Chain A
Amino acid sequence: EADIYQTPRYLVIGTGKKITLECSQTMGHDKMYWYQQDPGMELHLIHYSYGVNSTEKGDLSSESTVSRIRTEHFPLTLESARPSHTSQYLCASRLPPGQGIDTQYFGPGTRLTVL
């Protein structure tokens, strides 16, 4: 089982602010993911990373950026938050091939409200 952490758990900010959502995992997983999820709805992939210095955009354009400078750390940045960004953001990581069931392990999520 993976240990994956997200901070903050809850965030309320005003429109136009720049924010960074933190995600860290302690298992050395190479692949990491960010999802956006409205309450009770499906998950939308925002970004993912294969490893250090490797990031890709997902299906949902959320006007955010990510970086992967260290294996364990995958922060998500919103340059200018808008009310439409109000949602839950879930970070996940995945075992390297051959090391167990090929599933994603999720963090507890960050619930963002933009006023």
Chain B
Amino acid sequence: AQKITQTQPGMFVQEKEAVTLDCTYDTSDQSYGLFWYKQPSSGEMIFLIYQGSYDEQNATEGRYSLNFQKARKSANLVISASQLGDSAMYFCAMRGFFTGNQFYFGTGTSLTVIP
């Protein structure tokens, strides 16, 4: 079974500060991928960053980095130097490589950047 847990329904961060959005997962797969998506109020889902379970280094993509702790089964998203445009819902997701083609999503975290 696959499960994604996001325990922060809402978060606030001051503009230009860094923020960490939490994500833990549970899977029976030995190999899997972890994803973060951003969903602005317009409703579109935007892919941000990917981490493979076999990757030894944490993924980074511009101001986004993924703090991957495999033993703890956590894949937290770190946004550095927050901008007003970062205000959105953020979803963590995973796919097990051997259990099929489905992606499993968390319940999301609403991030608000304060000027």
Assess whether B50 is in contact with A106, with CB atoms less than 8 Å apart.
Answer: no
Max chain A Cβ within 10 angstroms of own Cβ: one of B43, B44, B89, B101: B43
B-contact bits for A92-115, CB 8 A (1 contact / 0 none): 101000000111111111010000
Chain B residues 37-83 with CB under 8 Å of chain A are 37, 42-47, 50
B46 to chain A, nearest CB (A): 8
Determine the distance from Cα of A90 to Cα of B35 in the docked complex, in whole angstroms. Answer: 17
In the complex, what's the smallest C-beta–C-beta distance from A53 to chain B, in angstroms?
A: 16
Return chain B residues, CB-CB under 8 Å to A106.
Answer: 37, 44-47
Q: How many A-B residue pairs have CB under 8 A?
A: 52
B residues in contact with A109, CB < 8 Å: 43-44
Q: Which of B86-115 contact A (CB under 8 A)?
A: 89, 91, 95, 101-103, 105-108, 110
A 10-54 contacts with B by CB, 8 A: 31, 33, 40-43, 45, 48, 50
Q: Which residues of B contact A105 (CB under 8 A)?
A: 47
Cβ contacts under 8 Å, A33 to chain B:
103
For chain B, the count of residues having a C-beta within 8 Å of the partner chain is: 21
A64 at the interface (CB under 8 A from B): no
> Which DSSP category, helix, strand, loop or mixed, fits chain A's interface?
strand
Q: CB of A58 within 8 A of chain B?
A: yes
Within the complex, the shortest CB–CB distance from B15 to chain A, in Å, comes to 22
Cα(A108)–Cα(B91), bound, Å: 16
CB neighbours (8 Å) of B44 from chain A are 106-109
Complex interface: chain B residues within 8 A of A77 (CB):
none
Asked if B43 and A48 make an inter-chain contact with CB atoms under 8 angstroms apart, the answer reads no
Contacts of B95 in A (CB 8 A): 102
Question: Once bound together, how far apart are the Cα atoms of A108 and B46, in whole Å?
Answer: 10
| Interface set of A (CB-CB < 8 Å, partner B) | 31, 33, 40-43, 45, 48, 50, 58, 88, 90, 92, 94, 101-109, 111
